[in-house]
Amino acid sequence: MLQQTQVATAIPYFERFMRVFPSVSALAAASVDAVLAQWSGLGYYARGRNLHKAAQIIMRDHAGELPRTAAQLVALPGIGLSTANAILSLSFQQPTAICDGNVRRVLARWSALPLVVESKQAEQQLWQLAQTLQSQTRPRDYTQAIMDLGATLCTRSNPDCTQCPVARDCGALASGEAVTSWPKRLPKKTRPTKTATLWLVFNKAGALWLAEPTSSTGIWGGLHQLPQSLPETLLGQDNYTLSPIKHVFTHITLVVTAKVVLLSDDRHFHLFTNGLWYNPKDKTRLIAMPAIVDKLLAHWLQQGRSS
């Protein structure tokens, strides 16, 4: 969950997830829909799908036990070398180095690395430095410490150098330049903007229609989604067009225009197959759906309409 997500955001999802799936076997036995329902709103849904697949592989190929080598861990879906090494050092006290985003930032500043951090040469040097510095006697403590250093003090935009335990020999701090000049980076690419139209279709009971997933990949893969088109026979129903809203992803900004249809009777129910009716007021029923659904529901209510 901490891949691409801040700790404060991940904590409530983690606690709820562990209550529902307290063991690898429980996670492996669950349906992917049940897993993604617990992941809804956290984003990067491939992580949830990969976690589910990894649990099934662990049960099938490793007798329910987490592998204890980097090669075996990296072979699991969704686990890269840094995550594998973090698991080995934190769980099994193996002196394996991690080099995630926080650690790269700490090491690039401490060493005043002159290279663009995205370059292959920088990656090699940072990995080598990470392995050299890793404690051979207390790997668990060291791994946790350097992750926390990057997360709490050596932050991206507002580092607290006065409290930093390695400030006395930090190359970036000694340089006289702004510490935030490191890591050296390539110029940011402009995030492209795309547009989409999504339909909010409510029945007389106030339930919302969600279509079944059509793919297990993509930004909303494996999730129930709002339809992007409707049969022409429905277009004559009471409908409203909401003002566009922005939904930001890592790689694109999506400008969504929502159109609302209020079904006045049950005559058109036969048109709705391969999906489900979701009551937004039923908080006990978790559906695997993207965060944009709740965002558009709130937008609809703010427009002064009620289903």
Using alpha carbons only, give the angle 159, 79, 105 rounded to the nearest 5 degrees: 15
Q: How far is CA 258 from CA 172, 283, 297, in A?
A: 48, 23, 10
| pLDDT tens for each residue of 124-178 | 999 999 999 999 999 999 999 999 999 999 999 999 999 999 999 999 999 999 9
Q: Chain centroid to CA 161: how far?
A: 29
Of 168-177, 203-212, 278-287, where does mean pLDDT reach its minimum? 278-287
User: Which pLDDT band, with edges at 50, 70 and 90, does 236 fall under?
Assistant: low
The pTM (predicted TM-score) of the whole model is: 0.76
Q: What is the mean pLDDT of residues 271-293?
A: 84
User: pLDDT-based confidence at 306, cuts 50/70/90?
Assistant: very low
* CA distances (Å), origin 49, targets 1, 25, 57, 228: 12, 15, 13, 24
Please state, in angstroms and rounded to a whole number, the distance separating the CA atoms of residues 96 and 142: 10
What token pair was written down for 145?
A: 């410490």
Six-digit token pair at 154? 């050596």
At residue 235 the predicted structure's pLDDT band, cuts being 50, 70 and 90, is: low
| Exposed / middle / buried, residue 277 (Cβ in 10 Å: 0-12, 13-18, 19+) | middle
Instruction: Give the whole-angstrom CA distance, residue 132 versus residue 191.
Output: 37
Res. 93 pLDDT band, cuts 50 70 90: very high
Q: Which residue has the higher pLDDT, 239 or 233?
A: 239
From 222, 245, 230, 224, select the one nearest 303 (Cα to Cα). 245
Which of helix, strand or coil describes residue 198? strand
| pLDDT confidence bin for 263, thresholds 50/70/90 | confident
**219, amino acid identity:** I
Mean pLDDT of 58-62: 97
Q: Nearest to residue 222, comparing CAs of 214, 210, 230?
A: 214
Identify whether the C-beta of residue 272 lies closer than 8 Å to the C-beta of residue 204: no
The residues, ordered by sequence, that sit 6+ positions from 141 with a Cβ below 8 Å of its Cβ are 135
CA distances from 66 to 52, 61, 91, 92, 161 (A): 14, 10, 10, 10, 38
Domain boundaries, the chain: 100-188, 193-302
Question: Average pLDDT for residues 61-82, to the nearest whole number?
Answer: 96
Burial class (CB in 10 A: 0-12, 13-18, 19+), 286: middle
Q: Which of 3.40.190.150, 1.10.1670.10, 3.90.850.10, 3.40.50.12280 would CATH assign to domain 100-188?
A: 1.10.1670.10
Instruction: Confirm if 131 and 121 have CB atoms less than 8 A apart.
Output: no
Q: What class, spelled out in words, does domain 193-302 have in CATH?
A: alpha beta
* Average pLDDT of the residues in 86-102: 96
Mean of per-residue pLDDT scores for the chain: 90
Residue 307 has pLDDT above 70, yes or no: no
